[in-house]
């Protein structure tokens, strides 16, 4: 006898857990309360949001949602699964063989390289995706940080009077306006343009691709490095050119390490690799702080070789007021805001649930 409720296998991502919070009535109250608290800065009535998504879920509510954290756990739970939501776990011919009731595989994203799309099509299993709004927001935040550094916004915002300039040690010397414009009357040095510069993205995953698309729109030359080179079609679509890591570091004005944190990426940008960067180049990091060796980073900033640095998720969260990074005037630190507001993730999860509801109803 088939199960009375749909069984969904969901990779245990901190955001994808929301699928269980919404659809599985056996979710512990402690988890629901924790998410309500997490959402409260943007959504005071989280439980009402859950009710709204349930109403749109059709026969998906209620479901049994099984969270899995490894390939072994995935395979163990496939026999009765009607749908899988995966971010990084591989769905191939072996997994499909173990899942005779499977109707849909939903990528928590839009890059399907961990899903055998052809094998799914041969089995009649639908492959679905969502262009995650939180990823788009991360890319926007990366550009906000780049623009702040390039335009020196963190130094000049609100600095509009001669008295303010003098208070910061500046000496006002007017231009001869009979002959010249008055732009940058404070004679602030160090501004640069994104247009015409080169951006090197290390890792063209979901967020890296969103950054590449925006970089091309800014008129930047886009280089990328990762273990597997993209297809020619993808490179053309993103207007991105592959470079070996050493060449990317040497030739880029902006370096964006867009990497997940694991044993292979911990301190990926170390002292040796930072030394390969061109003098005056900047690093903007909206992934994980630990992909950059902190001691090597501080040494590069102290030496003046690094032109600027911006970081969203800090090495400690919450951070420390005496963090040495705060002492540099070419460093911008933000308190893990790149994916905000919460509505980005909420809309992503609602879309995943709606997509699955349609797929399983067909």
Q: Are 335 and 314 contacting, i.e. CB atoms less than 8 angstroms apart?
A: yes
Measuring CA to CA, which residue among 321, 322, 323, 331 is closest to residue 300?
331
Token representation of residue 227: 């273990």
Catalytic residue among 54, 151, 336, 358: 336
If DSSP codes are grouped into helix, strand and coil, which group holds residue 38?
A: helix
Query: 106 has which bridge partners?
Result: 85, 128
Catalytic status, residue 316 = no
Q: Determine the Cα–Cα distance for residues 289 and 285; give it in Å rounded to an integer.
A: 7
Catalytic residue among 288, 305, 316, 354: 288
Q: Are 283 and 269 contacting, i.e. CB atoms less than 8 angstroms apart?
A: yes
Element (H, E) at 32: helix 29-39
Q: Determine the Cα–Cα distance for residues 17 and 135; give it in Å rounded to an integer.
A: 17
Q: Determine the Cα–Cα distance for residues 239 and 302; give it in Å rounded to an integer.
A: 35
Catalytic residue among 317, 324, 342, 351: 317
Catalytic status, residue 94 = no
Other CB atoms within 10 Å distance of the CB of residue 83:
29
First and final CA of the chain: distance in angstroms?
A: 21
Catalytic status, residue 336 = yes
Residue keyed to tokens 């040690």: 169
Name the residues annotated as catalytic.
Answer: 288, 317, 336
């Amino acid at each position: 006898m088939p199960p009375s409720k749909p069984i969904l296998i969901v990779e245990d991502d901190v955001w994808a857990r929301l699928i269980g919070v919404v659809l599985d009535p056996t979710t512990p109250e402690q988890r629901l309360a924790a998410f309500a608290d997490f959402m409260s800065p943007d959504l005071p009535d989280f439980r009402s949001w859950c009710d709204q998504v349930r109403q749109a879920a059709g026969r998906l509510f209620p479901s049994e949602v099984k969270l899995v954290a490894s390939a072994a756990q995935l395979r163990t739970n496939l026999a009765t699964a009607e749908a899988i939501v995966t971010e990084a776990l591989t769905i191939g011919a072996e997994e499909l063989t173990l899942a005779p009731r499977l109707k849909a595989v939903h990528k928590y994203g839009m890059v399907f390289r961990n899903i055998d799309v052809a094998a799914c099509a041969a089995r009649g299993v639908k492959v679905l995706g969502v262009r995650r709004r939180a990823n788009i927001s991360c890319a926007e935040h990366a550009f906000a940080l780049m623009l702040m550094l390039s335009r020196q916004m963190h130094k000049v915002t609100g600095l509009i009077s001669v008295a303010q300039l003098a208070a910061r040690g500046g000496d006002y010397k007017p231009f001869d306006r009979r002959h010249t414009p008055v732009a940058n009357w404070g004679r602030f040095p160090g501004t640069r343009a994104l247009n015409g510069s080169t951006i090197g993205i290390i890792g063209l995953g979901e967020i890296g691709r969103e950054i590449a698309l925006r970089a091309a729109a800014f008129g930047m030359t886009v280089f990328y490095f990762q273990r597997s080179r993209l297809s020619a079609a993808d490179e053309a679509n993103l207007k991105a050119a592959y470079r070996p890591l050493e060449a990317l570091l040497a030739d880029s004005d902006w370096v964006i390490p867009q990497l997940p944190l694991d044993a292979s990426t911990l301190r990926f940008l170390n002292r040796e690799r930072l030394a390969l960067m061109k003098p005056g180049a900047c690093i903007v990091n909206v992934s994980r702080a630990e992909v950059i060796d902190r001691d090597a980073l501080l040494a590069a900033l102290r030496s003046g070789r690094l032109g600027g640095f911006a970081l969203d998720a800090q090495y400690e969260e919450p951070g420390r007021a005496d963090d040495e990074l705060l002492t540099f005037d070419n460093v911008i630190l933000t308190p893990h805001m790149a994916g905000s507001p919460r509505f980005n993730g909420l809309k992503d999860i609602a879309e995943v649930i709606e997509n699955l509801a349609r797929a399983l109803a067909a």
